[in-house]
Amino acid sequence: MKVNKPIRPAKKKTAARKKDAAEPLAASSAVSTALTFKLQKLLAQKGLGSRREMEVLIASGQVKLNDQAAVIGDRAGPGDIIRIGRRVIRIHEEEELPKVLLYHKPEGEIVSRSDPQDRPSVFDKLPYLRSSKWIAIGRLDFNTSGLLIFTNDGALANRMMHPRFEMEREYAVRILGELTEEQMQQLTTGITLEDGEAAFSYLADQGGEGANHWYRVILKEGKNREVRRMFEAIGLTVSRLMRVRFGPINLPPRIKRGQWLELDEKETRRLLSLIK
């Protein structure tokens, strides 16, 4: 399986990936070749939450570093032992790549670990992780299908989801009827929603049969139910919605609904190089 290139990459692919931000030990320990990392960054990379959430966790006294209560500003490296409750986290000297998993979400599943209505969850079908947890990169609503990306690296998840990076989301949309030229212009220049302006950066007619018509659209943000609400704002209802691309990753045709595929080392490194 290959990680497909984006339709219009926002940035050129670089030749090599820079090593993750890390600083050597203080000058007094210059003889050591070990690297240390900010504790909150390490925990975020283990998929335990965002860096801000990890800072709160550390400040609350729930994290121990080598059996001592950790404080904001602590750093850790190979050989150090981090404890959060009964969970033990060890730092390995070798570079540890994040896990990245692609999932073809069917309609009728929620992107949440708990639900008062006890509906099926996408997390029910993912492989078990021993010392971290899967983080969903973006969300899809209950009635939307298509590409979901999961990782155990909080920093990678944040890099792909944060609005300032404008990671493209591409969807196949089916509606009853066809858009007029005026409606297409509205959708690409700006629709006023209750939580702000929204516009497609790309919209193309994909044809259709009978009364149904398909369109391909691209957004550079991920507001809740944004595609559906944009069409509803011009008086149209979306009958099918499927995400086919997120950033540089296309939904591989061979992943059937309800199935997942984990990227191998080469594919993961390529993804990291594309989103630097």
**pLDDT tens column, 143-185:** 999 999 999 988 899 889 888 888 999 999 999 989 999 999 9
Domain match, 87 and 124 both: no
For position 34, what pLDDT does the model report? Answer: 46
Domain count, the chain: 2
pLDDT tens per residue across span 90-115: 776 555 789 999 999 999 999 998 88
Domain match, 45 and 130 both: no
For position 92, what pLDDT does the model report? Answer: 64
Rounded to an integer, what distance in angstroms lies between the CA atom of residue 45 and that of residue 92?
Answer: 13
Domain match, 213 and 170 both: yes
Q: Of these residues, 20, 80, 124, 141, which one is catalytic?
A: 141
Q: What is the pTM of this model?
A: 0.68
> Residue 33 in contact with residue 45, Cβ under 8 Å?
no
142 domain-assigned? yes
- Report DSSP letters for 190-242, one per residue: -EEETTEEE--SEEEEEE-STTEEEEEEEESS--TTHHHHHHHHTT--EEEEE
Give the chain's residues under pLDDT 50: 2-34
For position 43, what pLDDT does the model report? Answer: 85
76 domain-assigned? yes
Domain match, 140 and 189 both: yes
> Residue 229 in contact with residue 217, Cβ under 8 Å?
no
Domain match, 60 and 113 both: no
For position 119, what pLDDT does the model report? Answer: 94
> Domain span at residue 60?
37-91
Query: How far is residue 245 CA from its own chain's centroid?
Result: 12
From the list 246, 247, 252, the residue with the least C-alpha distance to 275 is: 247
18 domain-assigned? no
Of 91, 125, 158, the domain-final residue:
91
**Alpha helices, DSSP H only, in the chain?**
39-45, 51-59, 154-161, 181-189, 226-233, 265-274
Annotation marks residue 118 as catalytic: no
Residue 254: in which H helix or E strand, if any? none
For position 93, what pLDDT does the model report? Answer: 55
Rounded to an integer, what distance in angstroms lies between the CA atom of residue 9 and that of residue 156?
Answer: 18
For position 21, what pLDDT does the model report? Answer: 34
For position 13, what pLDDT does the model report? Answer: 41
Domain match, 84 and 121 both: no
Of 54, 72, 91, the domain-final residue:
91
Of 55, 73, 91, the domain-final residue:
91
